[in-house]
Structure 1
Amino acid sequence: MHDMRDLKLLLAIRDNDTLVAAAHQLGLTPSAVTQRLQNMEKRLNLRLIDRSARRLCFTGEGELLCQRGKLLVEQYDALMHELDKRRSSFAGTLKINAPFGFGRRYLAAAAADFQQRYPDVEILLTLSDRPMVEAAERFDIVIHIGELRSSNLIGHAIAANSRFVCASPDFIARHGQPSSPEELARLPCIALCENNEDVLLWHFTRGRTSSSVRVRSTLASNDGDIIRLWATRGLGIIMRSEWDVAQALREGELVRLLPGWKTLDADVIALTHQREGLPLRTRQFMRFLRERFAPIPPWREAKQ
């Protein structure tokens, strides 16, 4: 068979007894029905309907195809109906991958609130230090923070986020305030290992001036909470997302270094496998996140 339309054509002929009536039901011309029936028989190399008699008479093979095919058509239509329901309703499983720190601090609560609002949606939240590398194909949404490198995934903006270079007041008292990015190369720094990136090459801009510095890492971890803790204890300089260090900066545990220099933004984005045809639960969750972080994300609220 070519596709489900062939079975539906054959069933329409059987239910209407004539090609003309079947054509009317299907919205086709009688000649189109005849041509499709002939093509079907040619592909199968079987005679399905004896058209030499005064009335249409199905062969044994034609009857078998109708009997078994009716069940297949009913199952297919039920499946398409279920898919349509899922596409237009909040149901099904939503699989999300997100970084450890952001996932714990912001996404876990957001996912739980979304599930409470839409109880027919099942949430599977997986946290990883390599959300862009580790089995991205298994997820409906991958939450990514920072520059989106070459990828087949489609990015959807969720919230603004910057990166800051920070150190503790104690560290600054011992080592002094760096006046330029180049001075970072001689100071102990702490690296966050994620997404297989070159985490020791730090980029800065000021107006039209740009500077890239390879820092010296005395400590490194794949957990953002750990490197922030090390930094607050005066063990080194970190470059970290605004969402992660905003509270420590407000409370004086950390001090921002080189405020006149801008680092690469690290906006929060949601990644999907395609732009069109996303289930309603996926589209609504991204809308839910944007509304939750708008107009000002929670890590910037205290600035107002």
Structure 2
Amino acid sequence: MTTLVTGAAGFIGFHVCQRLLAGGEQVIGLDNLNDYYSVALKRARLAALASNSGFEFVEVDFADNQAFQDMLAARSFDRIVHLGAQAGVRYSIENPHAYVQSNLVGHLNLLEVARRREVGHLVYASSSSVYGGNETLPFRVEDRVDHPLSLYAATKKADELMSETYAHLYRLPQTGLRFFTVYGPWGRPDMAMWLFTKAILAGEPIGIFGEGDMRRDFTYIDDIVTGIVSCLENPPPDDGAEKAGGSKGPHRLYNIGNNRSEELMRMIDILEEACGRKAERRLLPMQPGDVRDTYADIGAIQRDLGFAPTTGIDEGVPRFVDWYRHYHGV
């Protein structure tokens, strides 16, 4: 079995490649290695994958259709995990064009490849951001998601709609995954847990948006990967029955979260303990595009695939800090 993984040098993509390779699969990993965050970190992830003979990395921008098609011409694969995207809610306000190109044009290119190659399954990344200002907790896949608060969220909702269309027109099996605040070793430097850890260890103040009155469904990377691989191995049937998310075609939508909404301040308490020092906390107002609370109802993926997260923040946060110290030699 050969799997094409986009965003292979990214946080989640790297860990998915590791898991698939450990299972004896062949993996073709794609990434354009853009400089949204440290390219050195991305290359370090790729170096950790390179020792496995089943891994092939190709540097290409899947939003550049000609370059993408040229790269694919001599390669074959059975299924796709599409995790590559322009990430970040706040950055989408500063640089909207990057999101349209990567998240919309890029997603369409993947859909076209999947239908022309008749792949067995396309699993793709959506986001909990699609829930926008939803005030009903926990967030359910049945909830309406047509009031996004950021362009990033709007592009992810648009991806879901495009995928639904391709499932209907071409009977292309797909699963869309709405991720909730993923963290862990090899994480992203633009995310709060990394930023806070860096500042605390350096003795610098941390800026806490939303005056600290925020809650997040923090999900450890190993649980996320388990959910992705479980979905990949179980494509939705094309039986006319309604799937998670409401589709009657071979297209499902799932929340993947820890099924707990943790106070941001509690996460910071655990970070301080793991770092061995207190943070100087500076409370800041909400930022445009942010939401106050996230909380995943994972009932659909539990019912269909038996998904059950196992790592809470009391265990996961210290693991991240240990990795951070080792990676940076702190």
TM-score by structure 1 length? 0.29
TM-score by structure 2 length? 0.27
Structure in which a larger fraction of residues adopt strand = 1
The structure with higher relative contact order (CA 8 Å, sep 6+) is 1
Larger Rg: 1
